[in-house]
Structure 1
C-alpha cells in the first residue's frame, strides 16, 4: 500500500471510529416500504416503513398518477431515454422550452433547467462567484451544493450567520453593503435538515433596504408539497417578485428529476454562457423533462395530498414532543429528532430497522457535530397508525440507551 492509499485507509478508519462511515446498500421499493440487502445471502430481507424518502406527495409510487403520465401525449411524444448531448449542442429538445415556458409564466421569472438541484446551485453560484467584488452571506444550514458552488473559485468572499439569525444577517449587510458591488443572501424556503421555514418576509425586508443586495432562495423541499397549488413558500406569501433567484428541484415532491433556477433575463443569459454545470453536462433525457412538466401541470389537483401531509406532520410532531424527552425540530414534512452524537443516532437507526422502520442516522458533516439526528421525511400516503406505533418504540429505545450509558 503506497502513501496515498495508507492515508486514505487511515481516514476511513477514523470515520468508522466516529460512527460516520458510509456504505451503499442495494434496495427495493414497494409503495411506502423499502427493503435493503445488507446481507447478500439473505434472499428475503425485511420490508421496512420508508421514512427517508423525499417523495412528499407519494407520487413516485402512485400507480394511478403514473398511469396518467404513461397515457399522456407528453409521454408519447418524448419517449427518448437519452438526450445524447449537452443543451448547447444537440440536447436541447423542444420539451425543455415547453417546461421552461410554463415555469416562467407561473413564477414570473425566466427559467433555466439543470440536471439536478446540486447542478443548479453549483452552476448558478459558481457563475455568480466569478463576478468581481461580490460577497455571499449564507445561513449556516444551507445545502452542501451551495457551498460547493462557492468553492469553485478561491477568491470567494463568504460570511455565514447562525441558522435564521436575522439580527446577525442585518449587521453583516449594514457593515458590508458599501464595500461590494453586490451581496447575495443564500437561504432555503424549507430547510432540509431542521425542517423549519426561513423567515421569508424578514429576508425580503432586509434585502429591500439595499440597492445592491440580492436574495437567492432554494425551495427544494417546499415546491410541490407546500402552499396554494403547491407552488412553494414564496408564492404562498405573495413574495415571488421580491426573490431574485429561486431554485426549484423536481426530484422530491414532483417525483421526477432535474431542477431549475428562476431569475431575470440578464442573469439567465449569464448562466447560459458561464454556468459550467449546464455547459458541460449531457442534458437530461426528454422523458424526464416531460415527466416534470406533467407533474407541474397536475400540482393544482393535489391539494388533498398536501392537506394530508400537513395534518400527518403536525400530529406526528405533537406525539413525539408529548412522549419523548428529546429535542424535536420541524415545521412541516421534515421532522428531526435530535440525539447528539453519531453513535447514539446510529444506535437508534439500527434498533428501528430491527423493528421495521427505515430512518437512517443523519451525521456530520451533513449537520453540525453533536447535532446528529433521526430525520423523518414524511409522505402524504403514510398511514398515521404506522407513525403512531413508532413513538412508543422510540421511547423504549431511548430508555434502554440511557440505562445502558449511565
Structure 2
C-alpha cells in the first residue's frame, strides 16, 4: 500500500515542465519539430504532421547547404564510383580512443593538414562537438580567459560556461582592445573567439583587425569558427581565415553546411592537437562518425577548389536579394549568402514567416533567445541551386 506521505515525483516534475512550456508559448518562443519530404530546392511537410494546414511544396530558404552539393546527383554518382569496400562501413561502433578508428580518418586529416599547413587537423562529429569540447578543454588550463564575440555560436558559450570568459560587443574592436588591455596581465593566456561569417548577422568577422591586436600582446590567442564561410568564401572556398592561417591558433571547419556532409575538424599545432585528444570530451566519449560519411567528406574536400562556378552564382544571388530588399526599403542585414530581414519582436517574425509560407516560401522566424531581444528576424539562407527568378519571387511576396 502506498504511504500517504509519498510524493508523485513524475507529476510534480511535469508541473514545472508545463509551466516553463507555457511561458515559452506566451513569448511566441515554443519550438516544435517537423519532418519534410525533400525534392530539390523544395520541401513539403510530411503528411503525418497534421498540424500543418497545407502540404504544398515550399521553396527552401532555410538550408545551410550553400553550394547545393547534396542536390548534385552527378557528384553523388562520382563519389559512389570511387568508393572502396573498406570505406563502405555505416558505423564506426566505437570512439577513436578505443577501436573506432579507420584509415579514412587519417586520410582526411592528412588532406586537411596539407591544405591548411602548418596546422594539423583533428576530426570531430560536428561543429557543436568541436567548439564545446575544445573550449572546455582549454578552459581546464589555469589562468585562462576567453573573450567571446557576443554573437558567437551557442556551442562556444556552452563550452565556456564553466570557464573565465567575458563578452565583447559584436565586431567592436575598440571594446575588444579595452578588454585585452585591462585583463591580459592577469592571465597566462587570453583567447579571443570570433567567426569567419556570423550565422545570424551574416557579416564577416574582423579577423585581420584582431590579428593586429594579437601582435601587441604575446599571451593573446585567436580562435576562429569558419562554420558558415568555409566552402563558400576565401581563396578556392577555403574560408575567410585561410590567408591568415599562420596567425590563427585554433581554426574550426564544419562539414555540415557548404560541404553537404557531417562532422568538423579543429586545425591547430601538433601539441594542441595532442592536448585535445586527451581533453576534448566530445571526441573521447562519442562514437566516431561512420567511415562512409568521412569518405564522403574527403571526396567533397577534393572538389571544393573546383567549385568556383557555384560560389560565383551564390554571390550573384546574394547581391540580387540584397539589392531588391534595399530598393523596397526593408531593414536587412548580411554581407554574403545569409541575409536577415529584421522584424523586431517574436510575434512579428512568426507572422511574416507564416505569410511567406502561404506564398510558397519556407523561411522560419529566428527569435529570442537565439538572437538578442528586439531583433527577431526572417533569416534567408541562400544556396546555389536557386535561380534569380526565385529571388525575385521572394522579394515580390514580401
* Aligned alpha-carbon RMSD (Å): 1.4
Question: 2:280 matched to which residue of 1?
Answer: 275
Q: 1:350 to 1:121 in 2, by over 3 A?
A: same
Give, in whole Å, the separation in 2 of the partners of 1:225 and 1:76: 31
Question: What's the secondary structure of 2:218's corresponding residue?
Answer: coil
Question: 1:208 matched to which residue of 2?
Answer: 215
Q: Size of the alignment, in residue pairs?
A: 387
Residue of structure 2 aligned with 1:164, choices 162, 171, 184: 171
Q: In 2, are the aligned partners of 1:335 and 1:376 still within 8 Å (CA)?
A: yes
Give, in whole Å, the separation in 2 of the partners of 1:387 and 1:162: 32
Question: 1:8 matched to which residue of 2?
Answer: 17
Query: Could you give the per-residue CA deviations for residues 17-45 of structure 1, whole angstroms, max 9, x where no partner exists?
Result: 11100000111111111111376458982
1:4-403 paired onto structure 2 within 5 Å: 4-37=13-46, 40=49, 45-73=55-83, 76-108=85-117, 109-151=119-161, 153=162, 156-235=163-242, 238-324=243-329, 326-394=330-398
Shift of 1:392: 2.2
Runs of 4+ in 1 over 6 A off after TM superposition: none
TM-score (norm. length: structure 2) = 0.95
5+ residue gaps, structure 2, are 1-9
Shift of 1:355: 0.9
Q: In 2, are the aligned partners of 1:69 and 1:294 still within 8 Å (CA)?
A: yes
Q: 1:77 to 1:135 in 2, by over 3 A?
A: same
Question: What's the secondary structure of 2:108's corresponding residue?
Answer: helix
Question: What's the secondary structure of 1:158's corresponding residue?
Answer: strand
5+ residue gaps, structure 1, are 395-406
Shift of 1:3: 2.8
Give, in whole Å, the separation in 1 of the partners of 2:87 and 2:186: 49
Question: 2:6 matched to which residue of 1?
Answer: none
Give, in whole Å, the separation in 1 of the partners of 2:49 and 2:40: 23
Give, in whole Å, the separation in 2 of the partners of 1:177 and 1:38: 57
Q: In 1, are the aligned partners of 2:34 and 2:49 still within 8 Å (CA)?
A: no
Q: In 1, are the aligned partners of 2:320 and 2:391 still within 8 Å (CA)?
A: no
Question: What's the secondary structure of 1:241's corresponding residue?
Answer: coil
Give, in whole Å, the separation in 1 of the partners of 2:222 and 2:229: 17
Question: What's the secondary structure of 2:128's corresponding residue?
Answer: helix
Q: In 2, are the aligned partners of 1:70 and 1:76 still within 8 Å (CA)?
A: no
Give, in whole Å, the separation in 1 of the partners of 2:145 and 2:47: 46
Question: What's the secondary structure of 2:386's corresponding residue?
Answer: coil
Query: Could you give the per-residue CA deviations for residues 336-378 of structure 1, whole angstroms, max 9, x where no partner exists?
Result: 0110000000000111111100000001111111110000000
Shift of 1:271: 0.4
Query: Could you give the per-residue CA deviations for residues 238-263 of structure 1, whole angstroms, max 9, x where no partner exists?
Result: 21110100000001000110000000
Q: In 2, are the aligned partners of 1:84 and 1:282 still within 8 Å (CA)?
A: yes
Give, in whole Å, the separation in 2 of the partners of 1:32 and 1:114: 29
Q: In 2, are the aligned partners of 1:135 and 1:158 still within 8 Å (CA)?
A: yes
Question: What's the secondary structure of 1:60's corresponding residue?
Answer: helix
TM-score (norm. length: structure 1) = 0.93
Give, in whole Å, the separation in 2 of the partners of 1:170 and 1:387: 40
Q: In 2, are the aligned partners of 1:50 and 1:358 still within 8 Å (CA)?
A: yes
Query: Could you give the per-residue CA deviations for residues 37-93 of structure 1, whole angstroms, max 9, x where no partner exists?
Result: 3764589821000000000001011111111111114x5441000000000111110
Query: Could you give the per-residue CA deviations for residues 129-158 of structure 1, whole angstroms, max 9, x where no partner exists?
Result: 11101100010000000011112x3xx211
